[in-house]
């Protein structure tokens, strides 16, 4: 039996310690509203050579895992760039990208020279200023202002600043290795250009072909994406540049291939829960906190770097304001979005430190810079972004012109609601909700039963699954007949339930899916997903995810929280109005604002909500508009829900992986704490803006007559 001291020398011990840190530390810091990243850095400082000496950053285990986290961090940065938005605002994104790259580059270089760094190190410090991380993107998305041009331009500028900063890094590292000449620079730039084209074009085409051939095999697709990451990283080192450049280019290359699907979710999940946190812990191991506190010169360097970055990003936003004629609010939003320095900055700093170009003082200063900007940037975004105006701010008819044409109506076809049935205890309420929707739209419902496939179709298990599914379909057909709606039951035999639902919905040209809320949550659901999440990712139409505690026919009061005054907020309101029209229920539109909101702003918001009501229910059930000032949006909704039978929430695909249907910091606690019935409207990419029509009963009767005739 091995002694205790010998066991502690095993490489698996540091890995086990890292898992404990990743699991336990971030939640503790987040409970006190401090970013989890700060906790990981603090854990690294505490456990490193300048603390308890539990972890050693030079060990093989730590070096390997940290390197993987480093390239993974840059890969995810490339994966998160919205290429479609960049293409739409390419010219202005390049313009603002030039401003927010060049001005901070010059400022950082001046700071380096001021503290007696040589030109190579000073320019590298400037490149650290030049990039930015869209840490506040979830805020602008939650506020519904992503379509504002200033926001899309800032998002698009990310690709330019990151590539530019990494290019400067490659040149500075090459210079630091000595024997550098104009010829070697030309060779390096030429090699980098050829390599970039090979990665961006080659991996994109290979990825499309591989995904087409592998169809729905998410395991192999996941492995392909990882292979692309590490091949690109190795290729970058072969041409003499840092591997993080290859990782970032690989993320851009497979960006369009993976889209916003479940493979991207899994790739980001593995990085965000394992490798990237290990990178931050390793970064903390390098921090010599006692030396940092004792060195007055380092403190002045830190102050210069922090102030220089903040001021230079502001100057870049001011230039964009005058060149592109943006207003002050747009300028301040661009400044706040481009301020945070996390991903590319920390990765490049670590590379420069390992190469000996940057010293420990710069490393410590950049960590402080990360902490300051990652806090200040989102705070300023929350302050200015709500004042932005977007194309969808005023509620106009959200049915696009091409949807009104006869050709579009013909293509859209009959309103069809697909209802997957599995649990006899919830089947009745789901069918009732589907029939209410279909009856309002003059459509039909498709009860769908998925029998789990087996290798042998004649096995007793297979026969039992088919019999059970057929019984559920018979019950659904009888129920829909009683409610006066045509039903077309469908039985499918599938290995994957979620794919069966998505495929059947596409085949039936479904307008909507009514689905029960899966109870599977937590770590396992985040890693492997559940049926609800997978259907939302894979389907083509709107998905109503319901947790019904009583029959929809007996619901009397419906609450619809409205956060963003955009046309997309019409869907939950229309959905609630359809349910309310069945039994004269009361619908309440609730908007929670800050207690500091001015009376004029509240009055404008109320007028917009009332205009929204006129679009949703021109002749339908009355809709009450409420505006409640409250510091805590979640608590305000929970308080209002106490007097309601049903809450209708809006759910979107997340831009970043990890939590399936959850949206930001509001919906997640609501799902856990609401005690009444819930319906979440999931909006997969490409969903038509006009799923429900605010039709009068006469129009519905006309559609019914046409269908029956």
User: pLDDT category, 654, cuts 50, 70, 90?
Assistant: very low
Q: Is 279 left (phi over 0), alpha (psi -120 to 50) or beta?
A: alpha
User: pLDDT category, 308, cuts 50, 70, 90?
Assistant: very high
How far apart are alpha carbons 56 and 63 in whole angstroms?
9
Residue 704, pLDDT score: 42
Mean pLDDT, residues 306-335 taken together: 91
Taking the CA of residue 205 as centre, how many other CA atoms within 13 Å lie in the half-sphere pointing to its CB?
A: 5
Which residue in 78, 103, 105, 88 sits closest to 153, CA to CA? 88
Share of the chain above pLDDT 90, in %: 8
Judge if 404-540 and 542-683 fold alike in CATH terms: yes
CATH for the 542-683 domain, from 3.40.50.2000, 3.40.50.1370, 3.40.50.620, 1.10.3720.10:
3.40.50.620
Degrees, nearest 5: CA angle 440-563-556? 40
Higher pLDDT among residues 612 and 296, named by residue: 612
| β-pair type (542-547, 677-683) | antiparallel
pLDDT tens across 38-92, in order?
Answer: 788 888 888 887 778 888 877 888 888 888 888 888 888 788 777 776 777 788 8
User: pLDDT category, 231, cuts 50, 70, 90?
Assistant: very high
pLDDT tens across 581-591, in order?
Answer: 877 888 888 88
Q: From the CB of residue 35, how many other CB atoms can be counted at a distance below 10 Å?
A: 18
Query: What angle separates helix 60-79 from helix 12-31, to the nearest 10 degrees?
Result: 50
CATH for the 73-281+291-387 domain, from 2.40.50.140, 3.40.190.150, 1.10.10.350, 1.20.1530.20:
1.20.1530.20
pLDDT tens across 108-166, in order?
Answer: 999 999 988 889 889 989 988 888 877 777 677 666 677 778 888 888 788 788 888 88
pLDDT tens across 190-208, in order?
Answer: 888 898 889 988 998 998 8
User: pLDDT category, 220, cuts 50, 70, 90?
Assistant: confident
The predicted model scores a pTM of 0.63
Q: Are 344 and 370 in contact (CB under 8 A)?
A: no
Map out the domains of the chain as residue ranges. Answer: 73-281+291-387, 404-540, 542-683
Q: Are 607 and 679 in contact (CB under 8 A)?
A: no
Residue 8, pLDDT score: 59
Q: Are 254 and 207 in contact (CB under 8 A)?
A: yes
Q: To the nearest whole number, what is the mean pLDDT of the chain?
A: 79
- Contacts of 31 by beta carbon, 8 Å cutoff, 6+ apart: none
Residue 375, pLDDT score: 78
Is residue 685 over pLDDT 90? no
Query: What angle separates helix 149-176 from helix 243-253, to the nearest 10 degrees?
Result: 150
Mean pLDDT, residues 292-297 taken together: 66
pLDDT tens across 378-421, in order?
Answer: 888 878 887 776 444 443 344 433 333 333 334 446 788 999 98
pLDDT tens across 638-652, in order?
Answer: 888 898 999 998 876
pLDDT tens across 513-546, in order?
Answer: 998 876 554 444 444 446 777 787 777 888 888 8
CATH topology of domain 404-540: Rossmann fold (3.40.50)
How far apart are alpha carbons 657 and 124 in whole angstroms?
32
Q: Are 653 and 536 in contact (CB under 8 A)?
A: yes
User: pLDDT category, 666, cuts 50, 70, 90?
Assistant: low
Q: From the CB of residue 549, how many other CB atoms can be counted at a distance below 10 Å?
A: 12
């Amino acid at each position: 039996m091995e002694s205790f001291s010998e066991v502690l020398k095993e490489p698996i011990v540091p890995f086990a310690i890292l898992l404990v840190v990743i699991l336990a530390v971030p939640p503790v810091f987040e409970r006190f509203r401090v970013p989890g990243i700060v906790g990981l850095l603090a854990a690294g400082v505490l456990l490193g050579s300048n603390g308890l000496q539990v972890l050693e950053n030079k060990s093989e285990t730590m070096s390997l895992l940290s390197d993987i986290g480093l390239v993974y961090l840059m890969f995810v940065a490339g994966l998160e760039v919205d290429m479609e938005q960049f293409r739409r605002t390419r010219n202005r994104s390049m313009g603002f990208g030039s401003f927010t790259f060049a001005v901070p580059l010059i400022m950082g270089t001046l700071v380096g020279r001021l503290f007696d760094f040589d030109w190579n190190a000073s320019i590298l410090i400037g490149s650290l200023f030049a990039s930015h991380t869209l840490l506040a993107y979830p805020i602008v998305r939650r506020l519904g202002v992503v379509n504002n041009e200033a926001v899309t331009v800032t998002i698009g500028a990310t690709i330019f600043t990151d590539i530019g900063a990494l290019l400067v890094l490659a040149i500075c590292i090459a210079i630091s290795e000595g024997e550098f000449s104009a010829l070697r620079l030309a060779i390096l730039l030429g090699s980098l250009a050829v390599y970039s084209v090979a990665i961006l074009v080659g991996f994109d085409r290979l990825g499309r072909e591989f995904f087409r051939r592998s169809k729905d095999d998410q395991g192999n697709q996941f492995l392909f994406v990882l292979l692309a990451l590490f091949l690109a990283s190795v290729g970058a080192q072969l041409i003499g540049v840092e591997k993080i450049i290859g990782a970032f280019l690989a993320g851009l290359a497979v960006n369009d291939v993976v889209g916003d699907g479940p493979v991207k979710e899994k790739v980001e999940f593995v990085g965000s829960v394992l490798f990237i946190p290990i990178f931050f812990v390793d970064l903390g191991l390098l921090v010599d906190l006692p030396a940092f506190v004792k060195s007055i010169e380092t403190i002045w360097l830190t102050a210069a770097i922090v102030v220089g970055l903040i001021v230079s990003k502001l100057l870049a936003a001011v230039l964009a304001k005058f060149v592109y004629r943006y207003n002050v609010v747009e300028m301040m939003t661009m400044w706040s979005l481009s301020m945070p320095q996390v991903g590319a900055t920390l990765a490049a700093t670590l590379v420069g430190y390992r190469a000996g170009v940057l010293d420990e003082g710069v490393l410590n200063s950049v960590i402080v810079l990360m902490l300051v900007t990652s806090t200040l940037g989102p705070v300023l975004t929350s302050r200015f972004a709500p004042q932005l105006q977007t194309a969808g701010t005023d509620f106009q008819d959200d049915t696009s012109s091409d949807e009104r044409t006869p050709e579009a109506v013909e293509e859209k076809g009959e309103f069809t609601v697909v209802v997957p049935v599995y649990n006899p205890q919830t089947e009745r309420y789901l069918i009732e909700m589907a029939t209410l929707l279909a009856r309002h739209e003059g459509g039909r419902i498709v009860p769908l039963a998925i029998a789990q496939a087996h290798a042998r179709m004649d096995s007793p298990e297979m026969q039992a699954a088919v019999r059970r599914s057929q019984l559920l379909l018979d019950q659904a057909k009888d129920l829909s007949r009683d409610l006066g709606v045509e039903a077309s039951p469908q039985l499918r035999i599938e290995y994957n339930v979620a794919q069966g639902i998505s495929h059947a919905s596409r085949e039936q040209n479904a307008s909507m899916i009514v689905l029960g809320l899966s109870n599977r949550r937590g770590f396992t659901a985040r890693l492997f997903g559940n049926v609800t999440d997978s259907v939302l990712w894979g389907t083509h139409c709107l998905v109503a995810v319901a947790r019904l505690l009583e029959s929809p026919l007996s619901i009397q009061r419906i609450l619809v929280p409205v956060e963003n005054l955009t046309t997309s907020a019409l869907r939950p309101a229309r959905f609630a109005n359809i349910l309310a029209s069945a039994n004269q229920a009361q619908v309440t539109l609730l908007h929670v604002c800050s207690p500091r909101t001015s009376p004029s702003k509240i009055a404008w918001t109320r007028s917009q909500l009332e205009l929204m009501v006129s679009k949703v229910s021109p002749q339908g059930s009355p809709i009450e508009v409420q505006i409640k000032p409250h510091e805590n949006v979640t608590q305000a909704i929970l308080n209002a829900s106490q007097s309601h039978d049903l809450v209708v929430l809006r759910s979107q695909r997340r831009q970043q992986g990890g939590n399936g249907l959850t949206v930001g910091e509001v919906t997640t606690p609501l799902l856990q704490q609401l005690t009444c019935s819930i319906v979440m409207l999931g909006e997969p990419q490409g969903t038509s803006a006009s799923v429900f029509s605010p039709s009068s009963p006469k129009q519905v009767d006309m559609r019914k007559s046409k269908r029956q005739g």
